[in-house]
Amino acid sequence: MQKYAGRKAYLLSTYKRLLTENNVVLALQNSTLVDEEDRKLRLDLKKAGAQFTVVRSSILRVALRQEDQINNNTEQKNIKAVPVPSSFSQLFKGPTAVVSLRDLEPTQLKSVVSIIDKLSPKLVLLAGVVNGEDKVLFRKELDRLKELPSLPILRAQLTSLLQMAGGQRIVQTLQQPAQTLASDLSRRE
């Protein structure tokens, strides 16, 4: 690994932290924004719970490559690491920026995407990476993701499904192999 000094080392460290501490990282093509637009964008994204960072593409690609190497090494040791697909680094050419969100919350993602869309064509959403997925999510997939209900609502829906009569049958079906195994073992004794 190449050593970086001063500002480059600081940026590399910042980008690595940005990639590992956030559950959602969105890649944006960033045509130069006017100062007023930049300030308003940062303020709106902060209100929505996101952070906007203009990045140096070459240094971010190095950070992504190093994260990929760390992930490959930790997979062999069964240590959980944040997967970042290598194809994600190919998006960072020319003037780019990232928007990062700590948590994956579809309603939050929806508001962030709408804020970004207001500044199109100066700011274009290219793709994103969601923690736990070893896949780049492009615009269509991000649009589907942002339309999902929030995690608490999904949990409530799943709980209500399991509590219904059909859910009782699911529990019985899951318990049946264990009961069959226990009775087979007791007969063999």
Question: Is 157's pLDDT higher than 60?
Answer: yes
pLDDT band at 151 (very low <50, low <70, confident <90, very high): confident
Question: Is 133's pLDDT higher than 90?
Answer: no
Question: Is 90's pLDDT higher than 90?
Answer: no
| Percent with pLDDT over 70 in the chain | 80
Question: Is 3's pLDDT higher than 60?
Answer: yes
pLDDT band at 161 (very low <50, low <70, confident <90, very high): confident
**Cβ(128)–Cβ(113) under 8 Å?**
no
pTM, full prediction = 0.73
Q: What is the C-alpha to C-alpha distance for residues 13 and 1, in angstroms, rounded to an integer? A: 14
Report the DSSP pairing between strands 24-30 and 136-138.
Answer: unpaired
Interhelix angle 106-118/139-146, nearest 10 degrees: 130
Q: What's the pLDDT score for residue 82? A: 47
Q: What's the pLDDT score for residue 182? A: 75
